[in-house]
Chains A and B, each alone.
Chain A
Amino acid sequence: MNLSEFIRLAWESISGNKMRSLLTMLGIIIGVASVIIMIGISAGTEAAIEEQITGLGSNLVFVTRNFSRGGPAAFRQGGGLVYEDASAIADNVNGVVAVIVEQPSTETVKAGNVVLDGVAIRGSTADFPSVRDIEIDNGRYFTEREVDRTQKVAVLGSSLAQELFGEATPIGQTVTVDNIKLTVIGVFEERGLVSGTDFDAQLYTPITVVFQKFTPSQFARFRGDRVRAIIVEVEGPDVLDSTIQQIELLLARRHDVTLDAADFSVTTQQDIIQTQEATTAAFRSLLAWVAGVSLIVGGIGIMNIMLVTVTERTREIGIRQAIGAAPDDIRWQFLTEAVVLSLAGGAIGVLVGVGGSMLFGALSDMRTVVVTSSIILAFTSAAVVGIFFGFYPANRASQLDPIEALRHE
Chain B
Amino acid sequence: MAVIEIIDLSRIYGKGEISVRALDGVNLSIERGEFVAVMGPSGSGKSTLMNIVGCLDRPTEGRYILDSVEVSEMSRAQLATIRNEQIGFIFQSYNLFNKATALKNVMAPMLYDRSRKRSNEEKEARAREVLISVGLEDRMEHEPTELSGGQQQRVAIARALVNDPAIILADEPTGNLDSRSGEEIMELMHELHQGGRTIVMVTHDASIAEHTERTIFLRDGRIERITKGGTVQETKEVASESV
Q: Chain A interface (Cβ within 8 Å of chain B)?
A: 1, 5, 12, 16, 315-316, 318-329, 402-403, 406
A327 adjacent to B80 (CB under 8 Å):
yes
Q: How far is the CA of A324 from the CA of B54 in the complex (A)?
A: 11
Contacts of A1 in B (CB 8 A): 111-112
B77, B99, B108: which contacts A323 (Cβ < 8 A)?
A: B108
A324 adjacent to B76 (CB under 8 Å):
no
Q: How far is the CA of A322 from the CA of B170 in the complex (A)?
A: 13
B112 adjacent to A326 (CB under 8 Å):
yes
Which 3 pairs, one residue from A and one from B, show the smallest C-beta to C-beta distance?
A324-B84, A326-B80, A324-B112
A329 adjacent to B95 (CB under 8 Å):
no
Q: How far is the CA of A227 from the CA of B98 in the complex (A)?
A: 86
* B205: Cβ under 8 A from any A Cβ: no
B83 adjacent to A322 (CB under 8 Å):
yes
Number of A-B pairs, beta carbon distance below 8 Å: 58
> Quick one: given A322-B83, A403-B56, A403-B57, are A327 and B77 in contact (CB under 8 Å)?
yes
Interface size, chain B (Cβ < 8 Å)? 24
Contacts of B57 in A (CB 8 A): 403
Q: How far is the CA of A32 from the CA of B112 in the complex (A)?
A: 35
> Quick one: given A5-B111, A403-B56, A403-B57, are A324 and B99 in contact (CB under 8 Å)?
no
Contacts of B163 in A (CB 8 A): 324
B159 adjacent to A323 (CB under 8 Å):
yes
A322 adjacent to B56 (CB under 8 Å):
yes
Q: How far is the CA of A31 from the CA of B91 in the complex (A)?
A: 45
Contacts of B108 in A (CB 8 A): 320, 323
- Dominant secondary structure of chain A at its interface with chain B: helix
* B113: Cβ under 8 A from any A Cβ: yes
Q: A322-B54, A322-B83 are in contact. List 16 more A-B contacts (CB 8 A).
A: A1-B111, A16-B99, A315-B95, A321-B80, A322-B95, A323-B89, A323-B109, A323-B159, A324-B112, A325-B84, A325-B112, A326-B80, A326-B81, A327-B77, A403-B56, A403-B57
> Quick one: given A16-B99, A402-B56, A406-B95, are A324 and B77 in contact (CB under 8 Å)?
no
Q: Chain B interface (Cβ within 8 Å of chain A)?
A: 51, 54, 56-57, 76-77, 80-81, 83-85, 89, 91, 95-97, 99, 108-109, 111-113, 159, 163
Q: How far is the CA of A345 from the CA of B225 in the complex (A)?
A: 61
A316 adjacent to B80 (CB under 8 Å):
no
A323 adjacent to B97 (CB under 8 Å):
no
CB B118 to nearest CB in A, in angstroms, measures 12
B113 adjacent to A324 (CB under 8 Å):
yes
A319 adjacent to B97 (CB under 8 Å):
yes
Q: How far is the CA of A324 from the CA of B77 in the complex (A)?
A: 9
Q: How far is the CA of A12 from the CA of B111 in the complex (A)?
A: 16
User: Which residue from chain A places its CB closest to the CB of B160 in the assembled complex?
Assistant: A323
Q: How far is the CA of A1 from the CA of B110 in the complex (A)?
A: 9
A-B contact pairs, 7 of them (CB 8 A): A318-B95, A319-B96, A321-B83, A324-B84, A325-B112, A326-B76, A403-B57
Q: How far is the CA of A1 from the CA of B77 in the complex (A)?
A: 14
B76 adjacent to A327 (CB under 8 Å):
yes
B80 adjacent to A325 (CB under 8 Å):
yes
B83 adjacent to A323 (CB under 8 Å):
yes
Q: How far is the CA of A322 from the CA of B76 in the complex (A)?
A: 12
A316 adjacent to B112 (CB under 8 Å):
no
Q: How far is the CA of A325 from the CA of B77 in the complex (A)?
A: 8
CB B13 to nearest CB in A, in angstroms, measures 11
B99 adjacent to A12 (CB under 8 Å):
yes
Contacts of A327 in B (CB 8 A): 76-77, 80
B112 adjacent to A322 (CB under 8 Å):
no
A5, A16, A324: which contacts B83 (Cβ < 8 A)?
A: A324
B80 adjacent to A324 (CB under 8 Å):
yes
CB A1 to nearest CB in B, in angstroms, measures 5
Contacts of A329 in B (CB 8 A): 80, 112
B84, B89, B111, B112: most-surrounded residue (chain A CB, <10 A)? B111
Q: How far is the CA of A35 from the CA of B218 in the complex (A)?
A: 65
Contacts of B99 in A (CB 8 A): 12, 16
Contacts of A323 in B (CB 8 A): 83-84, 89, 108-109, 112, 159
Contacts of A5 in B (CB 8 A): 111
CB B105 to nearest CB in A, in angstroms, measures 10
Q: How far is the CA of A262 from the CA of B147 in the complex (A)?
A: 94
A316 adjacent to B81 (CB under 8 Å):
no
Contacts of B56 in A (CB 8 A): 321-322, 402-403, 406
Contacts of A315 in B (CB 8 A): 95
A12, A324, A402: which contacts B81 (Cβ < 8 A)?
A: A324
